Amino acid sequence: MAEQEEGAPECAECAWLKVELERALHIGDHSRAVDHRVLLRRHPRHDDVPVATFQTAQPSEGKDT
């Protein structure tokens, strides 16, 4: 998740995108999860620091899609 200074509020849009990403991963909607990862990456910088890449799931090896 994005690193925040102690006590600094998290951007509401970042928080919403992370919740939606987790929800998509939970239900197995990988297309939607990718969409939210892209939106998080494209989200503006905060205080000249890019928002950290948010990764939760690792690709499965040998799994047919």
Q: What is the mean pLDDT of each run of 10 residues along the chain (65 residues)?
A: 54 90 96 92 68 51 52
0.75 cut: is pTM over it? Answer: no
Cα distance between residue 54 and residue 41, in whole Å? 8
Q: What is the pLDDT of residue 13?
A: 87
Which residues in 1-65 belong to E strands, given as ranges? none
How do the domains of the chain map onto residue ranges?
12-42
What is the predicted pLDDT for the residue at 25?
A: 95
Q: How far is CA 21 from CA 3, 7, 32, 41, in A?
A: 17, 24, 8, 12
| Separation between Cα atoms, residue 6 and residue 8, nearest integer Å | 6
Q: What was the pLDDT predicted at 42?
A: 84
CA angle 10, 22, 35 (to 5 degrees): 90
Helix, coil or strand: residue 46: strand
